[in-house]
Structure 1
Amino acid sequence: MAGIFGGQPAATQSQNNTLGDLKMDVALASPPEDSITDLAFNPTGNDDLLAVASWDKKVRIYQILSNGSGEGKALIEHDGPVFSCDFSKDGTKVLTAGADKQGKVMDLASGSVQQIAAHDAPIKSIRYFDINGSPMAVTGSWDKTIKYWDFRAQAPVLSVTCQERVYTMDVRDNLLVVGTADRYINVINLKEPANFYKTIQSPLKWQTRVVSCFTDSHGFAIGSIEGRCAIQYVEEKDNASNFSFKCHRDTPQNNVTNVHAVNDISFHPVHGTFSTAGSDGTFHFWDKDAKHRLKGYPNVGGSITATKFNKNGTIFAYAISYDWSKGYQANSASYPTKVMLHPVQNDECKPRPSVKKR
């Protein structure tokens, strides 16, 4: 059988079945000039638009063409490295935030950009949501707060203090998950945004790198710097389904195993399966319900810092750039910085057929 999460495929035939192919992947022209921090696809519309945030203080918006390539569509500039980007629910606006402590929104139709958020320290994450049809943004900062913003007001609607600096954040429907330093995970129901519905410490022993909500908003995945991933359900009744597994770890040699940070986790919008991507320069597709790895891919030649599926799951975008996991001394001018588009084949992300017990 193919390798269970964290395990090795048992036979050559299984390995061939789970080994993915990169030969159809296409690089975006005119990529950012420094490390890439976040990717976002528009959730609606006839075209695929991809926003790319970077340490070069810019967010570039590309239109993905039918031949798999892309062309520049718009540009948003900040006064410092940009750490996060997101699209509005209707796909007409792009939200951005970063080290300059500002959150911005661009209206794609007019090209106008306005500041909508401010913190006392760099903003690590910005995400769109709406309440009763009103467009809103939530920002998470190293100032240990999350703030909610109405696009039409200058002051935050609400500010909530967290235990520590916000490192990662994700929103799906009414579910907001916030990961902070010291491995705290705060779960918020956006119908009651002032309160933590639940707070846990990550089941993973080392620093949280990313949280990502399930497509059905019943739970979330956590990735850490130690090459592990955890699957967590929101409700207590589902706790028996929680588990964690090893990934992005090299084959042991002389009783030493090199582990790599899990930099991003993205859920497939149709199948609910998910990807992990890491400092080791590989990405993998997983089925959390069957607890199986669906596909693993060869090393892409550099750390993968961000990933995202497009709205119907036919394109998987991944960013290759230096992720600072080995400090400034491991960076070099020759390190690749690019965005790759992987055409998703029919079987790559489909869940395994369930085996019914009699």
Structure 2
Amino acid sequence: MNTVSKDFEVTAAPQDGVSDLAFSPAADFLSASCWDNQTRIWEVQPNGNTVPKMVIPHEQPALCTTWSKDGMKCFSGGADKAGRMLDLQTGQVTQIAGHDAPIKCMRWIDNVQSISNMLVTGSWDRTIRFWDLRQSVPAHTYALPERCYAMDLAGPLLVTATAERHISIFDLRNPTREFKRVLSPLKFQTRSLGCFPVSQNGFAIGSIEGRIGIQYVEEKDAPNNFSFRCHRKDQDVYSVNAISFHPLFGTFSTAGADGTISWWDKDSKQRIKALTAPNNMPVTATAFNRNGSIFAYAACYDWSKGHEHYTNQTCKIMLHPVKEEDIKPRPKKR
């Protein structure tokens, strides 16, 4: 297992748990939504130093964050049922989305005909809503079968995972209806999800039972579906808290409540790198930057063992320099 002694620690990290991480697609700015009711933004400098920049306040815990394609707007969703936007040029924060329950997930839609430059939010109110920032009401609202637990998109592919193991798949080129609804191939509650960024034809899904499912959208690709176990130690099983895909190579990371991170090549079915978080703290959120040269992860208590195991440890957000040879796909083993 590789150590993380060469990783850089983000300065002025939150004292409470981090729920989500996101990099700007235009510059090395990192946002982190946190249970202390704030989403923070740092500038990551070439030498690995981080400079705190701005904060998006919520009235209750912040649960998710994302960016516009031009990097000039950072978004944050929270348990206060509000989606908020920070304009980096003016420093102004405005509410641009609302739900009837906490907003758990959000993504920015770009380069999809008829629905580009919109924010999509997923909520525990069992809906996803599409927001044109010029309007105060959602442009589209879709009912989900259950509360939204995880969501990701790649090009026109939007996938949401809900309670009771439902998965709703949308083709944003035809946004007026759901493309397909399936049950998770995993037997336990969904915790994390990531869409294939290069091929845009499938997704990885993670469960609380330390298992990953690789799923393709089209029936013709179904023979390539498979699942595997991860984030387990002896008889102990840990939740897969986060999945992040490398933007260029399509390899991906999983992060667990066991305090470890693994990088995987789904096509050759190999683990290609392993990391251990500081103090073996659970890893709650991860993100690659725009060109995949920086990997950010948050190490803090995730409450998976209950309140009696909480030790008041501060949260750490770490930046791991990514070497191309460590993340590139591997040849299939014979």
**TM-score of the aligned structures, taking structure 2 as reference length:** 0.96
1:328 CA displacement:
2.1
Partner of 1:291: 269
1:222 aligns with 2:240: no
Alignment counterpart, residue 159 of structure 1, candidates 141, 144, 159: 141
1:49 aligns with 2:32: no
Q: How does 1:101-120 map to 2 (within 5 A)?
A: 101-120=81-100
1:319 aligns with 2:302: no
The answer to whether the Cα contact below 8 Å between 2:30 and 2:44 also exists between their aligned partners in 1 is: yes
Q: How does 1:186-225 map to 2 (within 5 A)?
A: 186-216=168-198, 217-225=200-208
1:354 CA displacement:
4.6
The structure with more radius of gyration? 1
The answer to whether the Cα contact below 8 Å between 1:168 and 1:210 also exists between their aligned partners in 2 is: yes
1:185 aligns with 2:163: no
Cα deviation code 1:214-235 (max 9, x no counterpart):
1121110000000000101111
1:143 aligns with 2:125: yes
Distance 1:354-1:332 versus aligned 2 partners, 3 A rule: closer
Q: How does 1:1-358 map to 2 (within 5 A)?
A: 19-44=1-26, 47-130=27-110, 131-132=112-113, 134-216=116-198, 217-251=200-234, 257-301=235-279, 302-333=281-312, 335-354=313-332
**TM-score of the aligned structures, taking structure 1 as reference length:** 0.89
The CA distance in 2 between the partners of 1:300 and 1:185, in whole Å, is 33
The answer to whether the Cα contact below 8 Å between 2:10 and 2:318 also exists between their aligned partners in 1 is: yes
The answer to whether the Cα contact below 8 Å between 2:78 and 2:104 also exists between their aligned partners in 1 is: yes
The CA distance in 2 between the partners of 1:250 and 1:134, in whole Å, is 44
1:164 CA displacement:
0.6
Cα deviation code 1:213-258 (max 9, x no counterpart):
111211100000000001011111111111000000003xxxxx10
1:299 CA displacement:
4.6
Instruction: List gaps (5 residues or longer) in structure 2.
Output: none
1:259 CA displacement:
0.2
What amino acid is aligned across from residue 102 of structure 1 in structure 2? A
RMSD (CA atoms): 1.4
Partner of 1:7: none
The CA distance in 2 between the partners of 1:319 and 1:351, in whole Å, is 25
The farther-off stretch of 111-120 and 271-280 is 111-120
The answer to whether the Cα contact below 8 Å between 1:282 and 1:300 also exists between their aligned partners in 2 is: no
Q: What is the identity percentage for the equivalent residue pairs of Structure 1 and Structure 2?
A: 49
